Amino acid sequence: MRREPLVLIAAAALVPAAIAARPLTYSAPAETTPAELADAEGELVVNACSTCHSLEYIVTQPRGKGAQFWKDSVAKMVNVYKAPVEPADADAVAAALARKFG
């Protein structure tokens, strides 16, 4: 007769109580601006997009998708996910992303 599963279940039941007894803290590393976004045009992208995204997420998006891809992506962020970006700024962000990452 196997008894190992009962021992594991009993031990697993004790783990949450031990974790809950002490607070956990986490410090995210400081983010630096990637070279692709380190100009005036990139600053607009950083200000509009980094509220929700890491800067690395922005610069690792697929290349060569074209201006419509970026316009649609920014529109989705504003209309679906309610990104706090004014319409004029959204157009400028989409244009900047299209120029930088096309």
All domains of the chain in start order, with CATH = 35-101 (1.10.760.10)
Confidence class of residue 1 from pLDDT cuts 50, 70 and 90?
low
- Note whether 55 and 77 are within 8 A (CB): no
Distance CA 83, CA 8 (A): 45
On the question of pLDDT at 94 being above 70, the answer is yes
pLDDT for res 68? 97
- Report the pLDDT value the prediction gives residue 57, as an integer from 0 to 100: 92
* pLDDT score recorded for residue 18: 58
Return the pLDDT at 24: 86
Please give the pLDDT value at position 88: 92
Among 84, 100, 98, 29, which residue's Cα sits nearest to residue 52? 84
- Report the C-alpha gap between 9 and 99 in whole angstroms: 56
